[in-house]
Amino acid sequence: MINTNSKMDLTKHFIKLGCAPINWTNDDLPELGGELTFQQCLSEMALAGFSGSEIGNKYPTDVDELAKACDIRGMQICNKWFSCEFTTKPELETLEAFEKTTDFLKALGAKVVGVCETGKTIQCDIDKKMFDDAPVLTEEEFEKIAQGLNKMGEIAKSKGMKIGYHYHMGTGVQSLAEFDKLMSMTDPELVGVLFDTGHATFAGESAAEVLKKYIDRVVHIHFKDVRSEMLQKVKNEKLSFLQAVKGGIFTVPGDGDMVDWDYIFEIISASNYAGWIVIEAEQDPAKADPLEYAIKARKFITEKTGL
């Protein structure tokens, strides 16, 4: 039973709250929020009471232009998704692209890069069944990813930054067993964890138990909840990840029914975590007004933690 009445004080922690633009305009499904501008994303995040944003595909690639847009709204860039392709392309190709990404983020003041291996992913294929068609990585592929991640960690460290690995549905690193395997092969000093409540839950894990296990390696946090009814539909009808997103598998904290938020906040409170908590609950903006849901999430977090 999830207790929704207790309050955990996180105000003494060095935690900042941000949003992901994917809640407004979806990178994997361009038709979702395709009409919305990056300026609207940033403005409504600020209006809802958040101080940070991750970078979406509509955001400017010019540092000065993006910095100006953030500054006039009192916003800070805190992270950007980076796709690794160590399983399918030469290692150097990913490392060179990563160098450019870190330089861009560092210029904007971000300290963390969320990275994920996508060489074999089915997350963007609307015809691939989420559970039946998910890739199973070989030992050699795990080794390639681990070696590449360690090298990326070195690059980030040399620039005063960190990487956080984002376990993600459809990528071959989604279950706790798969994530444990990859993390055991990487250097904890170089490869951190991007903790995501939604993907852990979608994969069939207890998000709180994943957090408890890896809290000392967590460098960035994504908050979203899962709708149990939609998760069951994905399993029964053998839907793809994109079909699940369109159907509303994810929602914001305070709206879903599967994540034990009190346990999550308790673990964070007992830890030394200092960094960003980002609301990343991609939905169809035509069905779920992004501003309304951002405000709902912000109020929920305040009520629960005092932040």
Q: What is the pLDDT of residues 177-216, one digit of tens each?
A: 999 999 999 999 999 999 999 999 999 999 999 999 999 9
The two tokens of residue 19 are: 């949003």
Q: What is the mean pLDDT of residues 86-99?
A: 98
Instruction: Look at 299 and 1; give whichever has higher pLDDT.
Output: 299
Distance CA 32, CA 283 (A): 8
The three-point CA angle 70-71-75 to 5° equals: 55
Into how many domains does the chain fold?
A: 1
pTM of the model: 0.96
Checking if the pLDDT of 5 tops 70, the result is: no
Task: Band the pLDDT of 26: cuts 50, 70, 90.
Answer: confident
Q: What is the mean pLDDT of residues 32-43?
A: 91
Q: Is 299 inside any structural domain? A: yes
Q: Is 149 inside any structural domain? A: yes
pLDDT single digits (tens) 128-170:
999 999 999 999 999 999 999 999 999 999 999 999 999 999 9
Q: Is 5 inside any structural domain? A: no
β-strand partners of 55: 80
Q: Identify the pLDDT of residue 68.
A: 98
Q: Identify the pLDDT of residue 42.
A: 98
- Range of 240's domain? 15-305
Q: What is the mean pLDDT of residues 281-303?
A: 94
Q: Identify the pLDDT of residue 1.
A: 33
Q: Is 9 inside any structural domain? A: no
The two tokens of residue 159 are: 């620039």
Q: Is 1 inside any structural domain? A: no
Distance CA 222, CA 207 (A): 11
The three-point CA angle 254-258-260 to 5° equals: 75
Task: Band the pLDDT of 6: cuts 50, 70, 90.
Answer: low
Checking if the pLDDT of 31 tops 90, the result is: no
Distance CA 234, CA 239 (A): 5
Strands 112-117 and 162-165: parallel
Q: Is 46 inside any structural domain? A: yes
Task: Band the pLDDT of 176: cuts 50, 70, 90.
Answer: very high
pLDDT single digits (tens) 224-273:
999 999 999 999 999 999 999 999 999 999 999 999 999 999 999 999 99
Distance CA 10, CA 272 (A): 11
CB 37 within 8 A of CB 69: no
% of the chain residues with pLDDT over 90 = 90
Q: Is 86 inside any structural domain? A: yes
Task: Band the pLDDT of 3: cuts 50, 70, 90.
Answer: very low
> What is the CATH classification number for the domain harbouring 47?
3.20.20.150
Q: Over the chain, what is the mean pLDDT? A: 95
Q: Is 185 inside any structural domain? A: yes
Task: Band the pLDDT of 2: cuts 50, 70, 90.
Answer: very low
Cβ-based burial of 291 (10 A; exposed 0-12, middle 13-18, buried ≥19)? middle
